Chains A and B, each alone.
Chain A
Amino acid sequence: GQQLNQSPQSMFIQEGEDVSMNCTSSSIFNTWLWYKQDPGEGPVLLIALYKAGELTSNGRLTAQFGITRKDSFLNISASIPSDVGIYFCAGRASGTYKYIFGTGTRLKVLA
């Protein structure tokens, strides 16, 4: 099935560092969602974006809806060990009801 390009695929960082990841699409989307998934659990919604250029924060997390409407970015500031997990982006085009998911970014935080 179709998947979005998400990068990086994985990253090791030191506790306290900032993290950036992004998601790109060949199609224009009108909604972007960012999720975090822990092993064996369902993805948990972190941030939802509905407008091009929108910048939304949730604690130490900040996400942006790219102005081209073909990309989105997630930043995590001052990472902590519990940030470990897989982060997924998901996008939905106007007039559709189906979300397309990114391939995921696996984050590992070194204490």
Chain B
Amino acid sequence: QVLLVQSGAEVKKPGSSVKVSCKASGGTFRNHAINWVRQAPGRGFEWMGGIIPFFGTAKSAEKFQGRVTITADESTSTAYLELRSLRSEDTAVYYCVRILWALMDVWGQGTTVTVSS
């Protein structure tokens, strides 16, 4: 049974950066497709990007290119999402999810990121 545990809530100033972690247990981490999805207050879900640790190359949504970095550390079975140049519109709950056979079947508990001056 795969379990994803994310880091805690963050409060950030506009223009700063945030790095959220997602530690996996169970299964074979290097084969997991770990993706990041966010949910802003009152809005739907937005896919941000993902990585398969075995391949090491991340993909990100066009909207976030240049502002987001997705990485994975096989030694600790942990994936990371870094988002830079934060603005108020980035206030959201950020989820890491495993995608298996095109289904988001395992979700982290979510990390609330609040961007406020």
A and B pair up? no
